[in-house]
């Protein structure tokens, strides 16, 4: 399909900020100097101003999983979140147990001014919506309800969910995982809507919605069909850029999934040895990923999911994200 030509009067927020800065400089130097500026000089001034726009003005907001914060000087939640804010992160995603006090975390978030943007269901691998035992499936539904309420208290907008795992050809196969997990998810959608917290289905190595022994050019068609069958605005895709690099091109998946993507996280992946690694040190095609996110008009969170550590380590984590995506 032919692209619609871009209007000369269409400005992004970044363009406006840059032009505003340039105009201020011209105003200080006077109208005669302004008349003498060439178009090239004006463009250079605008680009220089735009380069000073902080990372928060990017299409991406960067966060880490809370379990990655391991600086010995940070004992309380307020100290941990303050560290992230000082380093330049935009938020954090809670990925620890639900026995903690969510009000304490929410209070720390408010004091520091750093949002807890999401929550990872900490029990979805071991207590699965797809389990052969109906009693376990009931516990999995209960855990999702707990996670949604916990997220609401934190001020988080999503709960990340692994919907199940293909673990046995007879008792937990592809079709059974599909049917059981959708049934369980539909049971918690009313609560998600009531609380205003969305459910994000993550693409992981759970033998589901892709071919584990298949080629390296697989599409995301099964993920799309799965979410479309759930058919709720409260359920979308939580896309990990790196998790399926072995099986397909993440940029192509992004374009196919489109607005079904509600949030993203990532690490990186080395195809040669089949190992995950720090962002920018593997084979995720980052320029293509950036372009694909632009093509679907994705604006939002990207959460790093690599080895955590102290202040220095977390500073590198953020620098890696900015280098490949900003």
- Residue ranges of the domains in the chain? 13-51, 59-325
Question: Is the pLDDT confidence value at 117 over 80?
Answer: yes
User: Which tokens sit at 162?
Assistant: 């692994």
| 239 closest CA partner among 212, 267, 217 | 267
Region 15-38 average pLDDT: 36
Region 312-326 average pLDDT: 97
> Residue 190 and residue 309: Cα distance in Å, rounded?
38
Q: What percent of the chain has pLDDT over 70?
A: 83
Question: Is the pLDDT confidence value at 284 over 70?
Answer: yes
> Residue 6 and residue 230: Cα distance in Å, rounded?
36
Question: Is the pLDDT confidence value at 304 over 80?
Answer: yes
| 79 closest CA partner among 92, 98, 95 | 92
Superfamily of the domain at 59-325: Divalent-metal-dependent TIM barrel enzymes (3.20.20.150)
Question: Is the pLDDT confidence value at 32 over 80?
Answer: no
Q: pLDDT grade, residue 154 (50/70/90)?
A: very high
Region 207-224 average pLDDT: 98
Of the listed ranges 20-29, 83-92, 173-182, 287-296, the least confidently predicted one is 20-29
Q: pLDDT grade, residue 326 (50/70/90)?
A: confident
Say what the pLDDT of residue 145 is.
Answer: 98
**203 backbone φψ class: left, alpha, beta (φ>0; ψ -120 to 50):** beta
Region 316-321 average pLDDT: 98
Say what the pLDDT of residue 20 is.
Answer: 38
| Structure confidence by residue, pLDDT tens digits, 39-78 | 334 334 333 333 444 444 589 999 999 999 999 999 999 9
User: Which tokens sit at 211?
Assistant: 């071919």
């Amino acid at each position: 399909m032919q692209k619609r030509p871009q209007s000369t009067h269409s400005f992004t927020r970044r363009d406006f900020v840059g032009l505003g800065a340039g105009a201020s400089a011209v105003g200080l130097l006077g109208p005669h100097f302004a008349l003498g500026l060439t178009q090239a000089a004006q463009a250079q001034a605008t680009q220089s101003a735009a380069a000073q726009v902080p990372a928060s003005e990017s299409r991406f907001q960067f966060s880490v999983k809370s379990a990655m914060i391991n600086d010995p000087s940070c004992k309380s939640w307020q100290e941990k979140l303050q560290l992230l804010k000082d380093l330049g992160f935009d938020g954090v995603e809670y990925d620890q147990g639900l026995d903690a006090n969510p009000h304490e975390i929410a209070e720390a978030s408010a004091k520091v001014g750093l949002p807890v943007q999401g929550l990872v269901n900490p029990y979805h691998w071991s207590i699965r919506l797809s389990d052969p035992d109906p009693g376990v499936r009931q516990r999995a539904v209960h855990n999702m309800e707990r996670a949604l309420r916990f997220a609401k208290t934190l001020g988080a907008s999503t709960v990340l969910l692994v919907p199940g795992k293909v673990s046995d050809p007879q008792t937990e196969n592809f079709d059974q995982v599909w049917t059981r997990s959708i049934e369980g998810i539909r049971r918690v959608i009313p609560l998600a809507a009531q609380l205003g917290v969305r459910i994000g289905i993550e693409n992981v190595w759970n033998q589901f919605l892709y071919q584990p022994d298949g080629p390296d050019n697989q599409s995301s068609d099964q993920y799309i069909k799965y979410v479309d069958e759930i058919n709720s605005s409260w359920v979308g895709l939580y896309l990990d850029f790196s998790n399926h690099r072995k099986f397909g091109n993440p940029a192509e998946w992004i374009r196919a999934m489109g607005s079904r993507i509600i949030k993203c996280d990532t690490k990186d992946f080395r195809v040669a040895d089949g190992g995950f690694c720090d962002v920018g040190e593997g084979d995720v095609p980052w320029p293509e990923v950036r372009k694909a996110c632009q093509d679907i008009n994705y604006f939002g969170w990207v959460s790093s999911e690599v080895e955590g550590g102290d202040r220095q380590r977390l500073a590198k984590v953020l620098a890696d994200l900015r280098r490949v995506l900003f």
